[in-house]
Every structure is written in C-alpha cells, then in structure tokens.
Amino acid sequence: MAASVVSEQALGKRHKLSVVRLLVSGAATGLAIFVLCWIGTAVPFSSPTHAYISLFTNAQVNSGAALVEGSVWSLLFGGLSAGLFGIIYNLAAPLESR
C-alpha cells in the first residue's frame, strides 16, 4: 500500500479529498456537537452551550423542540461546511508547491 502512495507522489499526482466522505463526517460531527451542547444545558454554568444552540434554533435551549430543530440545522450546516471545504481544497490543489 505504501509503495503505491509513493509511486503516485513520484508521478506528480495530487491527493484529492472525497467530498462525499467529508460531507457525511462533517454532518455527523455537527450533529454530535449540537447534541452534546444540548445535554450540556443541564449544567447551570454552561452558557457557551446555550449560545451554540441559539445559532440553530429560536426554541428554548433545553426543550425537545430545540433538540429536533437544532439537530436538523446543525446536521445540514456541518455537511455543507465540510463539503464546501472539500471542494475548495480540491480546487486549490494546483497551488501546491512541488
């Protein structure tokens, strides 16, 4: 496996990120962070979690509605931002110095 990676680099081929894999992992990460912050609303001194939840919903931060609505929006935002990162990264590949 390592030999094929070296031979591809020797030939000058650039590594491309899988945009779909980035999109899925970004969406899952966004969802996980949101759910952890929603759970963190049970801690009285956790105002940063309240602020993060407020980015994705106007519902009361510790409500079930906030969990559902915010989860959907954070899932979409995580996927969008990671997918966009992958596209831009792959487009910037020609800028790599040899």
Closest CA to 85 of 21, 12, 14, 15: 21
Torsion of CA 77, 61, 64, 82, to 10 degrees: 10
Answering whether pTM is above 0.85, one says no
Q: Convert the pLDDT of each residue in 34-59 to its tens digit.
A: 999 999 888 887 778 888 999 999 99
The helix (run of H) or strand (run of E) holding residue 54 is helix 47-54
Q: Convert the pLDDT of each residue in 16-29 to its tens digit.
A: 889 999 999 999 99
Residues 6 or more apart whose CB falls under 8 angstroms from that of 59 comprise: 65, 66, 69, 70
Residues 6 or more apart whose CB falls under 8 angstroms from that of 83 comprise: 19, 20, 22, 23, 26
pLDDT at position 70 over 70: yes
